C-alpha cells in the first residue's frame, strides 16, 4: 500500500470561502494539465493560475501528488457517475427490467456507458493516463466499480454463458472494453464518430460470451 497519508487532503474547508479556493485550485490544475502537460504543472503555477497564494494551496493539499490525486479521483468519480446513469435498469435487484433483454443488448448498454464515461473530459483523461508517473494508485480508481457491476451481471446470466470461470471472464471483458475504448479515444478518435467501432466491440464480446 503506498503512502496514502501524504496523498490525502489536508483539512476540510469549513467556510464557504475555502470551498471556492479548493475549486479554483482544482480547476487551475486541470487547466494546466490539459493545456500544458504534467511537466509544466508546478505548485506555484497552479496557485498563480488559481489566483490564490501558494500558502493556500498547501493548506488544502499536503503536496503536489495529493493535488493530482484529488483531481484523478474527482475525474474517476465523474466517469463512474455518468456510467451509472447509462446503466440504469441494469442493476442486479431489478431483474424484471432486464430479464427479457438479450445479452448483446445488455453489452450494448455497457459499451455505451463506457464510451460516455470516457467522453467526460478526454483531454484530461489522456494526460492522466499518459503523463502522470506512479499511476498505480490511480489505475484502480475507475476499475473496481466497473468490475463489480460486470461481475453481478455475468453471475446472473451464468447459465447462458459460454465461459465457465467467472473471475477470469470479468477480467477479460472489463479490460477489453476499457482498453479498446480508451485506445480509440486517445489514438483513433475518428473511430468513435460512427457506431461501427462500438458494433464491432459488442460483436466480439457477444460472440465470446453467448453460449451457442
Residues that bind its own copies (CB under 8 A): 38-39, 130-136, 162-163, 165, 168-169, 171-172, 175-176, 178-180, 183-184, 188, 191, 196-197, 200-201, 203-205, 207-208
For residues 33 and 71, is the Cβ–Cβ distance under 8 A? yes
Exposed, middle or buried, 56 (CB in 10 Å: 0-12/13-18/19+)? middle
Can you tell me which of 1, 3, 5, 17 binds DNA, judged by CB under 7 A? 17
Can you tell me which of 9, 27, 31, 43 binds DNA, judged by CB under 7 A? 43
Can you tell me which of 5, 55, 93, 133 binds DNA, judged by CB under 7 A? 55
CA distances 97 to 68, 110, 156, Å, are: 40, 15, 13
Can you tell me which of 53, 158, 160, 162 binds DNA, judged by CB under 7 A? 53
Give the count of residues interacting with DNA (CB under 7 A).
25
Q: How far is the CB of 3 from its own copies (least distance, A)?
A: 13
| Whole-number Å distance between alpha carbons of 199 and 37 | 33
φ, ψ of residue 23 to 5 degrees: the values are: -65, -40
φ, ψ of residue 3 to 5 degrees: the values are: -65, 75
The stretches of the chain forming alpha helices (DSSP H) are: 4-7, 16-36, 43-50, 54-60, 64-86, 95-99, 103-118, 122-130, 136-156, 166-187, 196-209
Tell me which stretch binds DNA (CB under 7 A): 39-47, 126-134, 136-144, 183-191.
39-47
Instruction: Report the residue count for the chain.
Output: 212
Tell me which stretch binds DNA (CB under 7 A): 61-69, 78-86, 98-106, 140-148.
61-69
Instruction: Tell whether residue 121 is a contact of DNA (CB under 7 A).
Output: no
53: left (phi over 0), alpha (psi -120 to 50) or beta: beta
The entry of DNA, its own copies, none that residue 191 binds, CB within 5 to 8 Å by partner kind: its own copies
Tell me which stretch binds DNA (CB under 7 A): 16-24, 86-94, 160-168, 188-196.
16-24
**Site residues (CB under 7 A) for DNA?**
11, 13-15, 17-18, 20-21, 39, 41-45, 52-56, 58-59, 62-65
Amino acid at each position: 500500500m503506498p503512502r496514502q497519508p501524504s496523498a490525502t487532503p489536508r483539512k476540510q474547508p469549513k467556510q464557504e470561502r475555502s470551498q471556492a479556493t479548493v475549486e479554483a485550485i482544482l480547476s487551475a490544475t486541470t487547466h494546466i494539465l490539459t493545456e500544458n502537460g504534467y511537466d509544466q504543472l508546478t505548485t506555484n503555477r497552479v496557485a498563480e493560475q488559481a489566483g490564490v497564494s501558494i500558502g493556500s494551496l498547501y493548506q488544502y493539499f499536503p503536496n503536489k501528488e495529493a493535488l493530482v490525486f484529488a483531481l484523478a479521483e474527482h475525474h474517476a468519480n465523474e466517469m463512474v457517475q455518468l456510467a451509472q446513469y447509462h446503466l440504469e435498469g441494469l442493476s442486479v435487484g431489478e431483474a424484471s427490467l432486464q430479464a427479457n433483454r438479450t445479452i448483446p443488448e445488455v453489452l450494448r448498454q455497457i459499451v455505451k456507458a463506457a464510451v460516455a464515461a470516457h467522453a467526460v473530459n478526454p483531454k484530461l483523461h489522456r494526460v492522466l493516463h499518459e503523463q502522470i508517473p506512479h499511476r498505480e494508485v490511480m489505475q484502480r480508481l475507475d476499475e473496481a466499480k466497473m468490475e463489480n457491476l460486470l461481475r453481478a451481471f455475468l453471475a446472473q446470466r451464468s447459465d447462458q454463458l459460454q465461459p465457465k470461470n467467472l473471475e477470469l471472464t470479468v477480467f477479460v471483458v472489463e479490460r477489453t472494453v476499457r482498453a479498446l475504448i480508451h485506445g480509440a479515444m486517445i489514438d483513433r478518435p475518428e473511430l468513435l464518430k460512427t457506431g461501427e467501432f462500438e458494433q464491432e466491440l459488442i460483436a466480439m464480446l457477444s460472440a465470446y460470451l453467448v453460449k451457442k
